[in-house]
Amino acid sequence: MPSKHDRYKSKYTVDRQVPGAFEGETITRRRFMTGTAHTAGAVAAASFTLPALGLALAPVFEREPHRWEIAGPVDMFPDDNYIPVVVTLAAGIGQVGKTTVYVRKHNAALDTDAYDRNPRTHPFIALSDRCAHAGCPVRWVPAAERFACPCHGGVYDILGRRVGGPPPRPLDRFFTRVSKQGLVEIGPRYSVNSELKPFSPRGPGEPLDGLGQYLYPAQFDERK
């Protein structure tokens, strides 16, 4: 007869005197069924949790395709007023892939912020028409020198900085350059905080001041 020490060491349930044990088994049916149920539950939970997690994290690793769109000749844009131009952000999906960009020439008297003052890196200022609150299209009002959002009353100044309403940050911007043919080209979009410091693109409603810049995932893009 096996000793008490051997009974606890044995791999067989009978030797361990497990209630309901059968000869030759190493795990009870109850434990087997419990383990099977837990495994099935874990698989079922993963089947809907992992896709949702992947969808949430995809923007962190997604790289927007790099493209430069022609806005028009350099003499088309004044330095004290915005001209709206339509550019294609995503090709192959029709009107959905287009957006309006407000463009003006760099103005040394206006563009005095540290991130805008160099006309070599910012020859033209290009602002998105999408409100930073909920993504509604804003409208440039030349007489008031303001951008106005009709949805929730967001108001931005001539630099795209919020001066009223619920938007959490200024209007997004686009990189610009001048081609050898003298054409203004619009590049990738980027977001800015209240000091107009550039960040990778963020979605509507996502602030970039203080802790806001760390709470929302960046959307990497190609800026070449």
Burial of 194 (0-12, 13-18, 19+ CB in 10 A): middle
Can you give the pLDDT at residue 13? 58
Distance of CA 22 to CAs 8, 12, 18, 25, 35, Å?
A: 16, 9, 9, 6, 18
Minimal CA–CA distance to 216: which of 191, 185, 181, 188?
A: 191
Whether residue 29 is found in the same domain as residue 81: no
Over residues 17-43, mean pLDDT: 64
74 within some domain? yes
- Position 49 pLDDT exceeds 60: yes
pLDDT tier at 1 (50, 70, 90 boundaries)?
low
Count how many residues are written for the chain.
224
- Hunting for tokens 């003052």 — which residue is that? 117
Over residues 42-67, mean pLDDT: 64
Can you give the pLDDT at residue 7? 47
pLDDT in tens, 150-188: 999 999 999 999 999 999 999 999 999 999 999 999 999
Q: Which domain holds residue 53?
A: 1-61
Final residue in a domain of this structure, among 9, 32, 61: 61
Mean pLDDT of the chain: 81
220 within some domain? no
